[in-house]
Chains A and B, each alone.
Chain A
Amino acid sequence: MNPIIELNNLTFRYHKTDERPALNDVSLKIYPGEWVAIIGHNGSGKSTLAKTINGLLAPEAGSVQVGDYALNEENLWSIRHMVGMVFQNPDNQFVGATVEDDVAFGMENQGIPREDMVTRVEEALKQVRMNEFATREPARLSGGQKQRVAIAGIVALRPGIIILDEATSMLDPEGREEVIATIKKIKEDNDLTVLSITHDIDEAANANRVLVMRQGELIDEGTPEKIFSAGPKLVELGLDLPFPEKLKYSLSEKGIDVPETYLTEEGMVDWLWTSVLKK
């Protein structure tokens, strides 16, 4: 299978004089239908990476390929049609004066006829369960609702790839769960590729593959199980541990033998009750 996103030896500096590049020789491949999470602490270059994929930032060296297009002046807008991006701040990416206007904004840019827009706005809002709020203004919506509108705006454009650039980092736990569940469902329904850039370990646990970044470099990749089994090393990278790992760590400090491999919350529950039965 051909990768849908391919980055080769990408290097990027914000200022020519910066000693350390924001991205240093990054290469990666993402395949259609995958959910890939990129994790790393602040300033590790995650967001920069996301912005170079659809040409919001131009790399200093290296190449970007999205689908059949290599990123250059000519293909820039074709690539942007294929890649939808949801950003961090729900307020600052809301362009429209009402929910439906915001969802229609991207379609207006592509010159889609009005009749099509009306049906697609309605469909997209239904998919994120915001159809009752179509005529509301952003000032009257919660953070999670605004992010769902942002997702609807992208779903309406029917891209093949969605990039979540810390899309849940300004939301409360409830809003975060809401948004992740929405993305999951939309990914299944529309067979999308999702690239999520996040601090949130629980969001990363949903992924098929996790990439770890530090100081502009990709330092590790693998399944969430593999990455999270690194345990306390993750903390050294400036990341939080998933809850089952924390529990395992506290248990082993109390002198209880715990399994070496990574367990999900369910796996942890299974192991706990079987181990109690064995005693």
Chain B
Amino acid sequence: MKKTGLKTNDLILQTITKIVLFIVIIFSFHLFFAGHNAPGGGFIGGLITSGAIVLLLIAFDVKTVKSILPINYVKVAAFGLLIAILSGIGSFLFGVPFLSHTHGHVHIPLLGDTHLATAVIFDLGVYFVVVGVTMTIIQTIGETE
């Protein structure tokens, strides 16, 4: 495919990206938190979040996105693995086997009676690993001259 050296003006794409990006990110958070009782979870939530960042990379360029999100994605993947391991090790503090999870009803002032589960912490680790690995792959491929 031929490379046109012309400067293109992607005004419509960039304006739509600025609006759609927030909808996609909110949808990914919804999928992440719905994972306990409905289809969803850390894996698909992380994929949709990285899809939103990919949309940002397509509409703008690598340098602009690095100035908006100054994140080293390799460290994000390592941080996610650390969270997942710590959520497993935390069960040792209560004298139960590795990766034992519990849940309970907690009364939070603004939200009322909320059903909280510690499996969300493990899912958060999965989320960060998926975002980190996907964005590392895509940015490494995209940065080639």
A and B bound? Answer: no
Interface residues of chain B, those whose CB is within 8 Å of chain A, are none
